[in-house]
Structures are given as structure tokens and as C-alpha cells.
Amino acid sequence: MNINDHLVSEFMSEFLDMKKRMLDAQLETKHQTIAELQNIQILLAEIQQAYREEHKTFKEILTYLQNYQGIVDYQISGGKEALEEMRSLKKEVSWIANLIEPQAVPVFNNRVITDNDDRVYTNSKSYLQSLADLTTVGVVAAARIYDRHGRRSSLSTASQQDLNDGIEDELTTANRLSIVSSDANDTGNGPGIQQVIISGINDAGNRANEIVTLQGINPIITTNTWQYLDHFSNYRAGTFGGAAAGNITVSAEGRTYARIALGHYSWRSGRMYTDSTQKGYLHELTVGAIKAAVTFDLYLDPTGSYGQTLLGKASLAASNSSVEMLFPAPMVIPASGKILVKGIGLTSGAEAHCTFYLHVQPK
């Protein structure tokens, strides 16, 4: 073999060997690519399965939400219908009530006392309780409800007398008051009444209260200067159960203006003043007679200067009886005004009592 044939033979051998290596490498690459594609296909199948499962879950949740929304919509629809029915019923009941009694309080007791002197009608104690609740929680700012209890024994049969425990005099000029007991046991650490509270209108025309510690038979002068006085009672008691050991009096100008009698707890006064910044509403008056028949009159003194106007009258024809006067419209007591209860015995020996509550608010 010549050298050329030998070179061609070597070249062909190298070429065939190179071709074989290339084919082997190509086959291996193909196998790797197929394996990778298979792995990818498996991952895609897993992703698709997970999507299907999650999609099913999401779809179920969505279905639940849609069903719940339907329930809510149905309930709301029913509530709206019920509300409309209630509103319609309320209108019908109010219309019937107004037809029967045009000036009655609405059946749902939702009428409030205004500050412009509008007439307000009441025919139920529940309305009075509602008013008390409003006052308690402060819906009517600075409003208060005061109670007063008046009494008079041995009423005259000739002329009317105030139900003020036999105290006839009232202050005519502003004064500081002297408070003293006829018994030394009415003192700050004694067994009788230790402290008293007085209430009324001060010299500035405002409602005021003052607590005074007693010193028995030694007079105590009030800190406030008083124009009018309408309450005087036990504030702190000793061992006598709250009763006075002696007669405790309030005086000035040589006159007595209030008294807690021996063995009693308070001065029972059938009058009440409003100050210069407030007006009052009187809803009812309860009066009672003991031992004999009594006729009662309720008066309004608009200016506090005895320009009296008769507001109501009650007559008890028998002893040991009582009656409640419930006004169809609250009686308005103007600022710096006064209400008082008087009585006259139809026979001798009559004893009279009265109780009223005055709702007071800024004018």
C-alpha cells in the first residue's frame, strides 16, 4: 500500500470515529432532553391537579358566600317589610288615638317637654316616669325634679291657710338666717339632729342649698343670704333615729320662717319657688284630709309678690281620704315664681297634707 492509500485510510478511520462520538453525544443529549421534558410534564400535571383542587375549593367558598348573601338579602327584605308594617301600625294607632282625643299624649309617649312654652298633654304616669328618666340621664341639661310635702293641723274653718306646718311668715327682704334648737341634744355630735339642710332662693335670685351643723341652744348664722325659703329638714342624725330633740327654728327679723318640731324630721312646706334662671312644670298634686273634711286650693304666684292665680281645687268630703289631681296639661311656673297650697277645714279639727313634684329646667 502506498502512502496515499495509507493516509486516506487513517483519515477515514478518524472521520468514522468522530462521527460515532458525535452520534453518541447526540443520543445522550436527546435522552437528557426527553428526561427533562418528562420531568416538566410531571410538574405541569401536578400544577394542573393542584389548580383543579384549589379552584374547586375556591368555587365552593364562592358558592357558600353566594348562598349566605341570599340568606342575608332575604332576612333584610323580611326586616324591611316588618319595619314598614310596624310604621303603618303605629300610624293607624296614633290616628285612632288622635281621633278619639285630639289633645292626648301620643300612645307611644314620645312627646317631650319643649323650651318654648308649647302646650304638652299627659294622661299617664308612665309619661311622668319617662320624664324622670330623661332628667336623670341629663337629656334635659340642668333639669331637676323637686318634691315638696306640706302639712297643717287644726285648719281654720273661717279662712284659707298655707300648708306650712303652722308657719305663717315668709321672708320679705334678703337676710342671713339664724338656726337654733330648744334642746342641747341637737348638736354636731349629739343624739338628736346633728346637721340640717335648708333650700330656697338666695339674694342673687338663684336656687341654693346650705348644710348647717347645729350647736344646740346656741344659734348658728347661715353663710348664704336668703330671699325665700321652701325646704328645711334633717341632714345628719344622731341616735334618736333622725328625730329632733327639741324645736329647731329658722328665724330672722324677729320672725320664724321654718320649724322642725320636737320628734319630727323636717318642716313640711306646701310651697316651692323657681329661681330667676329656670321655670317649672307641675304635673300633679296629691292632697289628703285627716279627722275632718278639707277643701284645697293650688295657687300660682307668678312674681313672688302674692299676685296669686288659682290653678286647681279639690274638696274632700270625708276624713281620712285623699285624692290625686292630675293636670291634663302641665302647669307652667315662670321664672322667679312660686306655687303654694292652701286649705280650709269644712269642720273643726281638720288636718291637711299635700305632696307635689315640680320639674324645673332652664327657661
Q: With left for phi above 0 and alpha for psi between -120 and 50, is residue 221 left, alpha or beta?
A: beta
**Burial (CB count within 10 angstroms: exposed 0-12, middle 13-18, buried 19+), residue 314:** buried
Give the three-state DSSP class for 289: strand
| pLDDT on residue 25 | 63
| pLDDT on residue 169 | 87
Average pLDDT by stretches of 10, the chain with 363 residues: 60 65 65 69 70 67 66 63 66 55 43 44 46 50 83 90 89 94 96 95 93 97 95 91 94 94 92 90 89 88 68 82 84 88 90 90 82
Give the three-state DSSP class for 186: coil
**Residue in the block written with cell 342641747:** 184
**Are 358 and 162 a contacting pair, CB within 8 Å?**
no
List of E strands, the chain: 144-152, 161-162, 178-181, 193-202, 207-213, 220-221, 226-237, 248-252, 255-260, 266-267, 271-273, 278-290, 294-301, 309-316, 321-333, 338-345, 351-362
| pLDDT on residue 234 | 93
Between CA 66 and CA 72 the distance in angstroms is: 10
At 41, which helix (H) or strand (E)?
helix 3-100
**Residue in the block written with cell 312627646:** 111
Instruction: For domain 102-165+268-363, give the CATH number.
Output: 2.60.120
| pLDDT on residue 225 | 97
Closest among 313, 321, 327, 323 to 358, alpha carbons compared: 327
Closest among 168, 146, 152 to 287, alpha carbons compared: 152
CA 257 to chain centre: 35
**Burial (CB count within 10 angstroms: exposed 0-12, middle 13-18, buried 19+), residue 193:** buried
Between CA 123 and CA 105 the distance in angstroms is: 7
| pLDDT on residue 16 | 65
Between CA 8 and CA 201 the distance in angstroms is: 141
Q: CA neighbours within 13 Å on the CB side: how many for 254?
A: 0
pTM of the shown model:
0.60
